[in-house]
C-alpha cells in the first residue's frame, strides 16, 4: 500500500488567515489575562503594605503589654517570697 499525500481541504492562504486570526485572538486573550493578573498582584501588594503598617503600629503596644505582664508577675513573685 503506497502512502498517499493528503491534499488540504482548504487553500493555504485560507489556512494562513485562520492561523493569523487565531494568533491575534490568543494575543488579545493573553494581554487581558496579563492585565488582570497585574491588578490582582497590585491588590495583594496593597494588602501586604496595609498589614505591614498595622503590624508596625501594633508591635510596640504588644511589647508594652508583654513587659507590663512580666513586670507584674515579677512583683507578685517578689511579694510572695517576702510574705513567707
Query: Which tens digits make up the pLDDT trace of 2-54?
Result: 566 777 688 989 999 999 999 999 999 999 999 999 999 999 999 999 998 88
pLDDT band at residue 56 under the 50/70/90 scheme: confident
pLDDT for the residue numbered 31? 95
List helix spans (H) across the chain. 12-83
Q: How does DSSP classify residue 10? A: S
Measured distance CA(30)–CA(42) in Å, rounded = 18
Contact 31, 38 (CB under 8 A): no
pLDDT for the residue numbered 2? 53
Amino acid at each position: 500500500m503506497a502512502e498517499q499525500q493528503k491534499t488540504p481541504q482548504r487553500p493555504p492562504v485560507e489556512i494562513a488567515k485562520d492561523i493569523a486570526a487565531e494568533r491575534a485572538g490568543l494575543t488579545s486573550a493573553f494581554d487581558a489575562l496579563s492585565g488582570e493578573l497585574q491588578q490582582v498582584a497590585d491588590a495583594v501588594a496593597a494588602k501586604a503594605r496595609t498589614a505591614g503598617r498595622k503590624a508596625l503600629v501594633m508591635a510596640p503596644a504588644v511589647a508594652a503589654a508583654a513587659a507590663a505582664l512580666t513586670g507584674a508577675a515579677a512583683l507578685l513573685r517578689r511579694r510572695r517570697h517576702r510574705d513567707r
